[in-house]
Amino acid sequence: MKVHEYQAKGLFADYGVPVDKSILCKTPEEAVAAYKKLGVQRCVVKAQVHTGGRGKAGGVKLATNETEVRQYANAILGMNIKGFVVDRILIGEAVNIKAEYYVSIVIDRKSKGAILMLSREGGMDIEAVAKDTPEKIFKIAIDPAIGLTDFKAREAAFKLFDDMAQVKQAVPLFQKLYRLFVEKDASLAEINPLVLTQECELKAIDAKMTFDNNALYRHPDIFDMFEPTAEEQKEQEAKEKGFSYVNLGGEIGCMVNGAGLAMATMDMIKLYGGNPANFLDIGGSSNPQKIVEAMKLLLADQHVRVVLINIFGGITRCDDVAKGLIEAFKTLQTNLPIVIRLTGTNEKEGRELLKGTSFIVAETMSEAGRKAVEAAR
Ligand code: GDP
Ligand code: MN
């Protein structure tokens, strides 16, 4: 789950990570009022959207008087940045930048824990730095059992700074950021740029955080900030109905019982040259109501051209599943081809029941994959 810069900065402030003073605004009038309230000569006007690269898209402007604040607020509000329409802006006290650094804490699969990533080449082109000069990005693994110790934090600080005065500021800053990362179950806490001001202070002037969705139940304060996209909305609704659903954008809608089988089904579709529209695990029942709900979910996806139902009958018997499917499709209106593969307990009886229906019945997994891909063409 993503949050906006202003929300991440709020969390930074709660944990003592230094940030610039800023005020969230929804209109140009509010922006002007915020500018006056900050009482600074120069301020930044920044788009608040769930995507990076706002600076390059024209969503970050430096204003030096009221007229400019109004003008930039007007221009940025309503702007479309990578598909996100700006409905909020942040008015921040402009800082005098001496140098920009990159700092982040992220989960690293290789070391199976959090790592601190650092670079002296912070600012807007960190992706290019990572690609062209990866040696300029330092990674320090943090042992989850002991946390970010003083000596590790100092080792990290020396990667960025040569001056002891800055190292002394950076050490507690990294440790506070790590505490925030762990306590809120974040998957990313990024400062780009962390700036050294002309006054020799370290400040986070941008902040980005993402959180582990599986841990949101224990962070109601974070969950309150959830602004789902249309896709996430759908995934959330599916979750509430007891499904595990992920949209993947392909043309073959999948309805499968069991996560492992769902993964294997997606592989099979890929093998025959098709693309799964989604991952959907409907769990272990053949309840017609559940099948109807799952089908509705699939049919609401405009990309879906074929539905592939792959069911393994263990405790649930295949003939019951077949009955459930026939029952469910009485209430569903669709012209889409439906490929069904049933295997396990009473599979023959199940297939027998499906004979003479409009379902395309397959016996094996590969036959089902092949038939679904053919039907999609
Ligand atoms: P992003 O493009 O979405 O990552 O937005 P940032 O918040 O990182 O801003 C982009 C760039 O704008 C930064 O790298 C800075 O160079 C510049 N910038 C942001 N805030 C300030 C500020 O307060 N003063 C000055 N001089 N530049 C700023
Ligand atoms: Mn940035």
- Per domain, the residue ranges of the chain are 1-19+97-227, 21-94, 230-376
From residue 24, alpha-carbon distances to 7, 66, 280 in Å are: 10, 16, 39
* Token reading at 293: 């709900």
Tens of pLDDT, residues 218-266:
999 999 999 988 888 888 888 888 888 999 999 999 999 989 999 999 9
From residue 248, alpha-carbon distances to 96, 245, 267, 279, 298 in Å are: 44, 10, 13, 7, 12
pLDDT at 348: 94
* Helix axes of 365-376 and 259-271: crossing angle, nearest 10 degrees: 60
* Token reading at 334: 């669709």
pLDDT at 324: 87
Tens of pLDDT, residues 319-365:
988 988 898 888 888 899 999 999 999 999 999 999 999 999 999 99
| Residue matched to tokens 């979750």 | 239
Q: From 69, 205, 208, 209, give the residue whose CB has the most ligand 1 atoms within 8 Å, as the site to mutate.
A: 205
What class has domain 1-19+97-227? alpha beta
Mean confidence (pLDDT) of the chain: 94
CATH of 230-376, picked from 3.40.50.261, 3.40.50.170, 3.40.50.150, 3.40.50.920, is 3.40.50.261
Q: How far is the CA of 108 from the centre of ligand 2 (A)?
A: 21
Atom 8 in ligand 1: residue holding the nearest Cα: 206
Atom 22 in ligand 1: residue holding the nearest Cα: 94
SS3 33: helix
Contacts of 241 (CB under 8 A, 6+ apart): 290, 293, 297
pLDDT at 286: 65
- Ligand 1 lined by 250 (C-beta under 6 Å): no
pLDDT at 180: 98
Other C-beta atoms closer than 10 Å to the C-beta of 61 total 19
Distance (Å, whole) CA 212 – CA 9: 18
pLDDT at 316: 79
| Residue matched to tokens 């989960």 | 107
Nearest C-alpha neighbor of 253 from the set 212, 308, 198? 308
Residue 178, Cβ density class (10 Å: 0-12 exposed, 13-18 middle, ≥19 buried): buried
Positions in the chain whose pLDDT score sits under 70: 285-286
Which overall architecture, per CATH, does domain 21-94 show? 2-Layer Sandwich (3.30)
Instruction: Return the C-alpha torsion angle 330, 251, 296, 363, nearest 10.
Output: 50
Distance (Å, whole) CA 131 – CA 275: 29
Distance (Å, whole) CA 203 – CA 169: 10
Ligand nearest the Cα of residue 190 is: 2
**For the residues of 311-344, what is the DSSP string, one character each?**
EEESSS-HHHHHHHHHHHHHS----S-EEEEEEE
260-271 burial, b for 16+ CB within 10 Å, e for fewer? ebbeebbebbee
Distance (Å, whole) CA 60 – CA 50: 14
Whether the Cβ atoms of residue 181 and residue 108 lie closer than 8 Å to each other: no
Give the residue numbers annotated as catalytic, written as ranges. 102, 190
Q: What is the DSSP letter of 144?
A: T
pLDDT at 363: 93
Q: How far is the CA of 205 from the centre of ligand 1 (A)?
A: 7
* Residue 354 parent element (H or E): helix 347-354
